[in-house]
Amino acid sequence: MLRTVTSLSLSGSAKGSLTRSPAALTTTRKISRSHPAFQGKAQISTASLSEDELKSLQVDRNRLMNDIHHTCQWGTGKRWGSQTTETGMSRLALSDTDKQARDWFVQTTKSLGCSVTVDAMGNTFAIRPGRHEAPPTCAGSHLDTQPTGGRYDGILGIHAGIEMLKVLQDHNLETEYPVGVVNWTNEEGARFPISMVASGVWAEEISLERAHNLGEVGGGTATMKSELERIGYLGSVPASHRSMPIAAHFELHIEQGPILEAEKQKIGVVQGVQAYKWFTIDVAGRDAHTGTTPFSARADAMLTAARLIAHSHRVAAKHSALASTGVLTLSPGSVNTIPGNVRFSLDIRSPVDATVEAVEAQLRKDFAAIASGGNADDPSFPQTSKHKLAVDWTTDTTSAAVNFHPDCIAAVRAAAGSVLGDEGLVRDMVSGAGHDSVYASRRCPTSMIFVPCRNGVSHNPEEHTSPEDCAIGAEVLMHSVLRYDQLRAQRERR
């Protein structure tokens, strides 16, 4: 199937441009097979590469983009532009189109010399042998998408891993230890409603039984297990890090936020994942007529909720944390009736667990005071009513902060530095969203690489990362894996 790739339209690949172009990327890149180190040798080991030789290893941008858009024929989503590749994706986990993309993944990686293992969650490990037998250093991400997703979230990470395998093959390079690419199942949680469920099972943080019995959203009768069976991806190998150990996990991903674009930077060296807690807040007052009820007689749940939401921003800002309300419902919902009940979501995040706790503690105290008629939010806020409202908190989700491994972070930082040649284009970041790397990090050294995405938009058909940025990210991923392989070899020698 690889042979068909080059016939695809590549209109998308010529569009992006760099605002601050690192010298190495200003022209369409070619595989530097001409580098003296790679001339005429049968098999080169990564440990034997000099820094200069390592640096010269480049990805093939056109090939990478060709592959991405080729597999996006399976599950093509909503069109947003006139170019061939300007559509979103709608490739739900374990659907027929997901099977097609998986089959391509298996065939392609096998053709690149990998052995492929599918576990009981459909996680697919394509492993390229190294000079020594040992667990692989992996690039991992996912091929499933949101129902109205784009072409980069997850997909880029998998294709960058495959491009790495191709570069290694092109140069007849042998790693010290195996390297591989992992396609994790149902990362999005869009079809089976637990995000990152299959890496969670691999990490033994979620039980296989619970995962297998997950029913599809939307009222269908399929379960994860029935769909794994149906599409032929219910593997016989246990879904566990014990059966399929990984030495280190690197994940290239679009940022899904606006920071890199806004700062005109190219690579985020991801230090970890923010802690977050999700709450449902219920405010209970009393329905009353907007015309006949003076302020003094009101227990206005909407006014109180508005003050609580504004105050959550004040307190989060003070702690350099995040607070957000994405859902709000009220009742009874009539223009001339003061709502007696309002329910809203509150999402608190910070890179530090203790900061999330501190924001929560402060808000619990202040919310109660405000609902009781005080003005803890703003001393000048008019205290028009002595009626007390009830504020009830429900904790829906608690997710502790994740700190990635210093060795992996160091490998990514070094790779980014050598690929871009400009420290100013690289920044340390914390991921605001969850990824399979969160579960991977529980069982092996892990880090992630972020690349910019247009306007910070993801989970949307218009999600977009330029071909240049895809290639930079893929190259940093490849160099991170190879540097980590070198590190393993160095440590072995000591």
Site residues (vs its own copies, CB under 8 A) = 255-259, 262, 274, 276, 278, 288-295, 297, 300, 302-303, 305-307, 309-310, 313-314, 316-318, 322, 324-328, 330, 333-339, 345, 347, 349, 378, 380-382, 384, 396, 431-433, 456-459
How far apart are alpha carbons 194 and 213 in whole angstroms?
11
Give the nearer residue to its own copies in terms of CB position, either 101 or 346.
346
The answer to whether 484 touches 137, Cβ cutoff 8 Å, is yes
Residue labelled with tokens 């140069």: 171
The answer to whether 113 touches 166, Cβ cutoff 8 Å, is no
Mapped onto helix, strand or coil, the DSSP state of residue 271 is strand
Counting other chains too, the contacts that 111-114 makes at CB distance below 8 Å and 24 or more residues apart are: 111/2, 112/162, 112/165, 112/166, 112/169, 113/165, 113/169, 114/165, 114/180, 114/181
Give the nearer residue to its own copies in terms of CB position, either 254 or 482.
254
Backbone angles phi, psi at 272, to 5 degrees: 170, -165
Indicate if the alpha-carbon torsion angle 298, 299, 300, 306 is positive or negative: positive
Give the nearer residue to its own copies in terms of CB position, either 161 or 339.
339
Backbone angles phi, psi at 246, to 5 degrees: -125, 135
Tokens of residue 320, six digits: 């350099």
Tokens of residue 475, six digits: 């190259």
Tokens of residue 296, six digits: 């003094």
- Residue 181, burial from CB neighbour count under 10 angstroms (0-12, 13-18, 19+): buried
CB of 466 to its own copies, least distance (A): 19
Give the nearer residue to its own copies in terms of CB position, either 149 or 339.
339
How far apart are alpha carbons 331 and 42 in whole angstroms?
73
Give the nearer residue to its own copies in terms of CB position, either 36 or 333.
333
Give the nearer residue to its own copies in terms of CB position, either 51 or 392.
392
Residue labelled with tokens 């597999």: 71
Give the nearer residue to its own copies in terms of CB position, either 42 or 335.
335
CB of 280 to its own copies, least distance (A): 9
CB of 257 to its own copies, least distance (A): 3
**What is the CB-side half-sphere exposure of residue 403 using CA atoms within 13 A?**
4
Bridge partners, 215 (sequence order): 223
The answer to whether 60 touches 29, Cβ cutoff 8 Å, is yes
Tokens of residue 224, six digits: 């994860």
Give the nearer residue to its own copies in terms of CB position, either 218 or 291.
291
**Residues written for the chain:** 494
| List of E strands, 165-274 | 173-174, 179-183, 248-254, 267-273
Give the nearer residue to its own copies in terms of CB position, either 295 or 424.
295
Whole-Å CA distances, 413 to 13, 291, 418, 447, 482: 26, 62, 9, 10, 13
CB of 412 to its own copies, least distance (A): 18
CB of 145 to its own copies, least distance (A): 15
CB of 444 to its own copies, least distance (A): 23
CB of 181 to its own copies, least distance (A): 25
CB of 322 to its own copies, least distance (A): 7
CB of 134 to its own copies, least distance (A): 35
CB of 406 to its own copies, least distance (A): 23
CB of 252 to its own copies, least distance (A): 16
CB of 80 to its own copies, least distance (A): 15
What angle do the packed helices 467-493 and 406-420 form, to 10 degrees?
Answer: 130
Tokens of residue 370, six digits: 């405000």
Give the nearer residue to its own copies in terms of CB position, either 107 or 329.
329
Give the nearer residue to its own copies in terms of CB position, either 198 or 338.
338
Give the nearer residue to its own copies in terms of CB position, either 129 or 258.
258
Tokens of residue 356, six digits: 């999330």
